[in-house]
Amino acid sequence: MMWRASLLLLLLLLRHRAQGKPSPDAGPHGQGRVHQAAPLSDAPHDDAHGNFQYDHEAFLGREVAKEFDQLTPEESQARLGRIVDRMDRAGDGDGWVSLAELRAWIAHTQQRHIRDSVKNFMTWRTQRPTKR
């Protein structure tokens, strides 16, 4: 008798699950229901033609990437070395940047970009004149 109750419960759960459908505003592949992370850069991602601006902005952040564009190669290399040290400190401090440390750094950079964007938006929103 217990197995019948279990089977009935399982069938009811499966029936309920099969009747679920996405909301009307959901696009293909759940685009309306899934939170999409902010893009790492507005630059096109095109490594094949030597345009690495996307990578620079994803790795350094938009503002720091602009600063690096103005540096000499020696200054750029020295600053990148300090950034790599900061990336490694977030991990195990062995002098090498692992894939996990690189991912953590890029996520950190992306979160910083989001915070800055929100802060700038809120500043703009509070300073604009309100209509009455």
Instruction: Give the pLDDT confidence of 67-100 residue by residue, as tens digits.
Output: 888 889 899 889 888 888 888 875 677 888 888 8
Residue 96 CA to residue 23 CA, distance in Å, equals 46
At residue 118 the predicted structure's pLDDT band, cuts being 50, 70 and 90, is: confident
Q: Cβ(97)–Cβ(18) under 8 Å? A: no
Tell whether the model's pLDDT for residue 32 goes beyond 70: no
Q: Which pTM was predicted?
A: 0.47
Helix or strand (DSSP H, E) at 72 = none
